[in-house]
Amino acid sequence: MPENAIPMTNSRHPRLAEQSQRRLDQARETAHQKTGYDSEATRQALVNRYGELTGNTAYKWQLDVAEALILKLDCVVSFITLTAALSNFHFRALCIFIVGITKVDITSPVVPLN
């Protein structure tokens, strides 16, 4: 492991994932109280439409991001590799065709090979 690598035991990811999940849960509850929003029905509709469009099954994180966008929460999705980001057309399809988000930016730092 490189000297400057952060060991997974010190990773902030579990804490940040927990915070993100709490925010999504709170947004769901607020939307349910204000408008009768049904998270389970929304997620099932996303799964169905995503399958129709792509022939694939959406991952939980993709559904979480799509639902967060529907609930008007800010979202940041970080891909580990440029290949993963560029090849993940299905995720962009979920945002664009299903949720109605018209702009999905992918910013990727490119590190030249030595």
Reported as a single tens digit per residue, the pLDDT across 74-93 is: 877 666 555 555 556 666 66
Please check the confidence at residue 68 and state whether its pLDDT lies above 80. Answer: yes
Number of folded domains that form the chain: 1
Residues 32-43: what's their mean pLDDT?
95
Q: Over range 68-73, report the average pLDDT.
A: 86
In a domain, 20, yes or no: no
- Whether 23 is covered by a domain: the verdict is no
The verdict on residue 42 lying in a domain is yes
pLDDT at 103 over 70: no
The model carries a pTM of: 0.68
The three-class DSSP label of residue 14 is: helix
For 87, the domain range is: 38-107
**Angle at alpha carbon of residue 88, lines to 45 and 6, rounded to 5°:** 110
